[in-house]
Amino acid sequence: MMLGMFDALMTQGFLANADLLFWFICGLSVFLVAIAKSGFGGSMGALSAPLLLTLLPAKTALAILLPLYLVCDVWAVMIWHRFAVRRFLIIMVVAAAIGQYLGYLLFAYIDDGALKAVIGVVALVTAARYFWRIVKPVFDVRAAARRRLLRKKFTQRAVFWSGLSGFSSFVSLTGGIPVQVLMLPLRLHRFFLIGTLAYYFFFINLLKLPFFFNLEMLTPQTLFVSVCMLPLIPLGVVAGKWMATKLSDKWFYHISHIALALLGLRLVIGWLMS
């Protein structure tokens, strides 16, 4: 009976054309997500959805990834639960929930290609500013004053960037970029950044479930692929945790901004070539 169900799934929908490249890309996407969720606050995991989008439509890719995101989120919260900045987290989650609901209401009318391009440009500008300040550093007093100002205005910034994160997460799989634009300039200790984003992504991904069921995006085929990818999550979680504890703050932020720039470039190029 189980073999019959397996054969039926493998001959239906997008799985009918699945080959070794398909399973490799799926596995790489999930491995990146697990590394990111456990050690890099989502920055490397933001590359997972664009990878899967090279093979599948957006709805199918997101339906495969969402259950896996949630499993990774649970792991990440268990690892980093002591490091979340609750004052920031509450504002971010509320704003993102509103953004997701707007994305659900406008899902059929959004030009997700243009939205991806705008978010890609923002990602590139944010990364460019970070590396420019390494080349042309500002005085420590000015840098500290700027961080204090950003934290003082956190609520206003979070309403916009977290709202955009929730919206773009729902319609174009790019919710990680706006929230990184919000959080990375604060220069929190990496453990508190990772912990805050671990809780943030867990809550916003959990909030997507009723919308996904309503839109009938979760199918036996997408759930089958998700289940097949589950064994990769513990491997990625262990790798991400190890990498995060071994890296200095400097290299953590370097890698996070490089990942942000690569994803932004990918989104802009994809829009220009479409």
Long-range contacts of 189-193 (CB under 8 A, 24+ apart): 189/249, 190/41, 190/244, 190/247, 190/249, 190/252, 190/253, 191/80, 191/83, 191/244, 192/83, 192/84, 192/85, 193/41
The two structure tokens encoding residue 83:
């490091």
Q: How far apart are CA 95 and CA 158, in angstroms?
A: 7
Q: How many domains does the chain have?
A: 1
Cβ neighbors of 42 (< 8 A, separation 6 or more) are 36, 176, 179, 180, 197, 201
49: containing domain: 2-273
Which residue, among 168, 202, 190, has the nearest Cα to 240 in the 3D structure? 190
Q: How far apart are CA 17 and CA 262, in angstroms?
A: 29
So what's the pLDDT on residue 3?
Answer: 46
Tens digit of each residue's pLDDT, the chain (274 residues): 444 545 555 555 667 677 788 889 888 888 888 887 766 655 555 667 767 776 777 778 888 888 988 988 888 898 888 899 999 999 999 999 999 999 889 877 777 677 667 767 877 887 887 788 777 765 555 666 777 778 888 999 999 999 999 998 887 767 777 888 898 888 888 889 888 998 999 999 999 999 888 888 888 888 989 999 999 988 888 887 787 777 776 787 787 778 778 877 877 887 888 7
The two structure tokens encoding residue 118:
């705008």
Q: How far apart are CA 160 and CA 131, in angstroms?
A: 24
Cβ neighbors of 68 (< 8 A, separation 6 or more) are 30, 33, 226, 229, 230, 233
Q: How far apart are CA 260 and CA 182, in angstroms?
A: 13
